[in-house]
Amino acid sequence: MSTSILPTINSPADVKAVPERDLPLLAQEIRDELVRVLSEENPNSVGGHLGPNLGVVELTLALHRVFSTPKDKFVFDVSHQGYVHKILTGRRDRFHTIRQYGGLNGFLLRSESEHDCYGAGHAGTALSAALGMAVGRDRKGTDENVVCVAGDAAFTCGVSYEALNNVAEQTKRFIVVLNDNEWSIAKNVGAIATYFNKIATHPTYAHLHEKAAQFVEMIGGKHAKDLAHRIEAGVKHLILPSVIFEELGLRYYGPIDGHDIPLLIRTFEFLKTQNEPVLLHILTQKGKGYDPALKQPDKFHGLGRFEPKTGRTSSSATPTYSELLGKTLARFAESNNKLCAITGAMPTGTGLVHFAEAHPDKYYDVGIAEEHAALFAAGLATQGFKPFLAIYSTFMQRAYDMIVHDIALQGLNVALCMDRGGLSGDDGPTHHGLFDIGYLRPVPGLVHMQPKDEEEFVDMLWTMANYNQGPIAIRYPRGIGTGAKPKEQPRILEIGKAEVVKHGTRVAILGLGGMCQMAEEAARQLEAQGISTAVINPRWIKPLDTGTLEFFARSAEVVCTIEDHVLPNGFGCSVIEHLNDVGIRTPVVRIGWPDQFIEHGSVDVLRKKHGLTAEAAVEKILAAVKPATDSKPKSAA
C-alpha cells in the first residue's frame, strides 16, 4: 500500500518537494478530503463550496509548484474556490473546521493567513485588485509575480472589463488565468459565455493550441517563440474577427486542459518569464472527480451537509423563503402578463428556478451583473412591465447607484426582492445582508418592508405586484421561517400600517420581520415579572407607522426595537429619529448587530455572542424600566 501524501503537506514548500509523478495522486487525495470534510463524514460539517474546489485542484497545485506565496500573490476571484489553497498553505489541520464558528472562513481572508493576499466574496473583483498589486509592485521596484485566477463567470461582470481596459497601459508583468468551466453558480449565460465556447471548441483553434502546448513544454528559443506568436495571431484572426483579450493588450494562450498538471506547470514556468500581460485560458470541470457534483453542478456549487456516496442532502418539508418567492411569483404571473422576474446568475439561490420553469418567456438571468440587472429592470418598467429583481441583499449593494439614480429618481415600478436580508450565518461577512435598511432608508419614494412569517411574505409579494407608485422593496431571511402556511388568496396590505400582535402598557417591543418571534418571547419573560408588554410587528421599514409608534411610545416607559440588521442607520434609528422629531422622550432600547463586520458561524451562536436574544433584550429593557413604586394614591391631608 502506498503512503498517503496529503498528511505531509503543511506548506507550499512541501508541495514543491513532491515528485511530479505523484502530483496526480495528491490531487485525488485532496478531492477525497474535500468530500470528506464537507459531507456527513465530518460530524461538524456545515457544507461549503464543493464543486468549484473540485475543479481547481490541479490548477492550485501547479500554481504552488511554480510560484512561491506569500511573496508571489494569488488573487482568486470570489475566492470560494480557495479551499485547496488553504489546505496547501498550512491550514490542512484546521480544514475540518471550515465555515464553522471559530474555524476557517469559507473565503480567503487577509487576517487568516499571510498566503491570502486579498479577501473577497463577490465576483469580478480579482482583476482590478490584482492589477493594483502589480502596479504597486512596479512602483516599489520589487519582482514578485501577481496571478489573477478568475472564472469565466467573472467576465459577465462589467468591472472585469473596466480592469482589462487598463492592464496593458499600467503594467508589463501580469498573469490572468481564465478558469473556464462554463458555470458560475448556474450555467453561464449571454454572449460572453458563447464567445468562450466558440474559442474552446473550434477544431482548427484546438489543433493550434495542442501544438502551442507542445511548444510551451519545449520552451524553445526567442525565434521559435516569436514565430509561434505570429502563427498563433494569424490563425486566431482567420477564425475569429477579434480575440478580445489580445485587442485589450493581453497575450492570449490556450485553451489548455486545466487538469493536466505537467502541462500547467510548464505553462506557468513559461508565462512567469514573459514581460507582457498574459492570459491563460484553461478548461476545467466543475465538480471533477465526484459524480454527484458533475451531474448537478448548480446544486454542488455550495451546499450544506450531504451523504458522501450519493450526494443526497436532507430537505425540509417547509419551503424556504426563496422557494416560496419563485413559486408564488410563478402563480401570480399566470394571470399577469406584465409580471417578469430577473436574477443575476442565481436562479436556484433566489428560488426563481421555479419561476423560470413555469414562465421561461418572462424570466431573465443576466449573469453576475447586478448593475445591469437593475438598469434592465428600469428599462422594462418604462414599458409598462412589473419586474421583480431578486438578488441577495449583499449583492444588491452593487446596484445601489441604479436604485437611486435610475429607479427611484424616475419613480419606476420595480420590485426589489432582497434575499438573505439579515445574517447569512456560515458564509460570513461578505454575505451577511446587514446593511440594506441603512442604504435604502434615505432613498426618497422607496417603500421597504419585511415579513414576520411566510404567510405575510406572500401577502407582501401580492402587495408589491399590485403597487404602481414607484419602487418597492422587501427583505427576507435565508432559509425557512415559522412555517406559517400562506392563504390561497393573498391580501393587499395597507402601506405603512403595522400589526399590533399584543397590547401592553409599560413596554412596547417592535420586532421587525422574523425578529417578531424574539419580541414575543421577550414579552413573555417580562410579563412573567409583572411588566405589561406590547408587541408590534412593524411590517414597514419605510414608511414607518408613525401613528402606532406614537400611541405606544406616549404610554410606555420603554420602547424596544429588535432587527436583523446593523444598529447604525437601522430600523431602530428611524424610530428614535421620529420620536425625537415629535418631541416624545420615551427611552428606546435597540437590539441589533453591532457596528462591525460580523464573523461567520451558526446564526444561534452569533446571536447569543452579540446579544440578539430575548434574554439580552429583557436585560436591557429592565435596566431602562422605572423602578416599581407603590401605585396606591396617597390620601389628601
Q: Indicate the helix (H) or strand (E) that contains 564.
A: strand 558-566
Q: Please name the residue that has the C-alpha cell 417591543.
A: 509
Tell me the C-alpha distance between 263 and 256, whole Å.
Answer: 8
Given a cut of 80, whether residue 258 has pLDDT beyond it is yes
What mean pLDDT comes out for the span 64-74?
A: 98
Tell me the C-alpha distance between 373 and 542, whole Å.
Answer: 24
Same domain, 533 and 615: yes
Q: Indicate the helix (H) or strand (E) that contains 616.
A: helix 614-624
Q: What is the pLDDT of residue 193?
A: 53
CA atoms within 13 A on the CB side of 184: 28
Tell me the C-alpha distance between 198 and 24, whole Å.
Answer: 29
Domain boundary among 243, 273, 291: 291
- Selection from 175, 202, 190, 191 nearest residue 281 by Cα: 175
Comparing 82-96, 135-149, 154-168, 567-581, the range with the smallest average pLDDT is: 154-168
DSSP three-state, residue 308: coil
Which listed residue (73, 91, 173, 398) is catalytic?
398
CATH label of the domain that carries residue 362: 3.40.50.970
- Selection from 390, 392, 387 nearest residue 413 by Cα: 387
Same domain, 127 and 31: yes
Torsion 30-35-41-44 (CA) sign: positive
Q: How many residues comprise the chain?
A: 637
Q: What is the pLDDT of residue 300?
A: 78
pLDDT in tens, 382-410: 999 999 999 999 999 999 999 999 999 99
484 within a domain of the structure (yes/no): no
Same domain, 525 and 417: no
- Selection from 106, 192, 118, 195 nearest residue 154 by Cα: 192
Same domain, 110 and 196: yes
Q: What is the pLDDT of residue 255?
A: 82
Tell me the C-alpha distance between 277 and 252, whole Å.
Answer: 9
Cell matching residue 464: 408589491
Same domain, 156 and 275: yes
Given a cut of 70, whether residue 558 has pLDDT beyond it is yes
Q: Please name the residue that has the C-alpha cell 402556511.
A: 485
pLDDT in tens, 429-487: 999 999 999 999 999 999 999 999 999 999 999 999 999 999 999 999 999 999 999 99
Q: What is the pLDDT of residue 222?
A: 44
Residue type, 156: T
End-to-end, the C-alpha distance of the chain in Å comes to 101
Residue 41 bears catalytic tag: no
Q: What is the pLDDT of residue 203?
A: 53
Q: Who's near 19: CB < 8 A, 6+ residues apart?
A: none
- Selection from 424, 425, 520, 427 nearest residue 475 by Cα: 424
Cell matching residue 269: 514556468
Same domain, 135 and 197: yes
Q: What is the pLDDT of residue 295?
A: 85
pLDDT in tens, 188-236: 445 555 555 565 555 544 444 554 444 444 444 444 445 445 545 544 4
112 within a domain of the structure (yes/no): yes
Q: What is the pLDDT of residue 460?
A: 98
Same domain, 470 and 506: no
Specify whether the CB–CB gap between 135 and 171 falls below 8 A: yes
- Selection from 155, 182, 372, 118 nearest residue 250 by Cα: 155
Tell me the C-alpha distance between 73 and 132, whole Å.
Answer: 12
Q: Tell me the pLDDT of the chain averaged across its residues.
A: 90
| Confidence bin at 186 (pLDDT 50/70/90) | very low
Cell matching residue 55: 475543479
Same domain, 133 and 214: yes
| Confidence bin at 181 (pLDDT 50/70/90) | confident
13 within a domain of the structure (yes/no): yes
pLDDT in tens, 612-623: 999 999 999 999
Same domain, 418 and 514: no
Tell me the C-alpha distance between 288 and 298, whole Å.
Answer: 13
Which listed residue (99, 236, 286, 475) is catalytic?
286
Tell me the C-alpha distance between 473 and 461, whole Å.
Answer: 10
95 within a domain of the structure (yes/no): yes
Which listed residue (58, 232, 370, 520) is catalytic?
370
Domain boundary among 412, 440, 475: 475
Specify whether the CB–CB gap between 492 and 535 falls below 8 A: no
DSSP three-state, residue 116: coil
Same domain, 444 and 523: no
Q: How many domains does the chain have?
A: 3
118 within a domain of the structure (yes/no): yes
Cell matching residue 12: 507550499
Tell me the C-alpha distance between 379 and 272, whole Å.
Answer: 45
pLDDT in tens, 361-384: 999 999 999 999 999 999 999 999
Q: What is the pLDDT of residue 224?
A: 43
Residue 16 bears catalytic tag: no
Q: Who's near 628: CB < 8 A, 6+ residues apart?
A: 530
Same domain, 609 and 515: yes
As separate numbers, helices (DSSP H) first and strands (DSSP E) second, the chain gives 25, 17
In which domain, by residue range, is 442 found? 321-475
Residue 398 bears catalytic tag: yes
Which DSSP symbol is given to 332? H
More confident residue, 292 or 6: 6
377 within a domain of the structure (yes/no): yes
Given a cut of 50, whether residue 591 has pLDDT beyond it is yes
Q: What is the pLDDT of residue 194?
A: 59
Burial class (CB in 10 A: 0-12, 13-18, 19+), 599: middle
| Confidence bin at 314 (pLDDT 50/70/90) | confident
Domain boundary among 459, 475, 491: 475
Distance of CA 324 to the CA centre of its chain: 20
312 within a domain of the structure (yes/no): no
308 within a domain of the structure (yes/no): no
Q: What is the pLDDT of residue 623?
A: 97
Which DSSP symbol is given to 212? H
pLDDT in tens, 326-356: 999 999 999 999 999 999 999 999 999 999 9
- Selection from 487, 479, 516, 476 nearest residue 500 by Cα: 516
Same domain, 595 and 506: yes
Tell me the C-alpha distance between 145 and 278, whole Å.
Answer: 12
Comparing 151-155, 373-377, 481-485, 573-577, the range with the smallest average pLDDT is: 151-155
Residue type, 231: I
Beta bridge partners of 447: 472
Using a pLDDT cut of 90, give the percent of the chain over it. Answer: 79
CATH label of the domain that carries residue 587: 3.40.50.920
Cell matching residue 610: 452579540
Which DSSP symbol is given to 544? -
Tell me the C-alpha distance between 26 and 249, whole Å.
Answer: 36
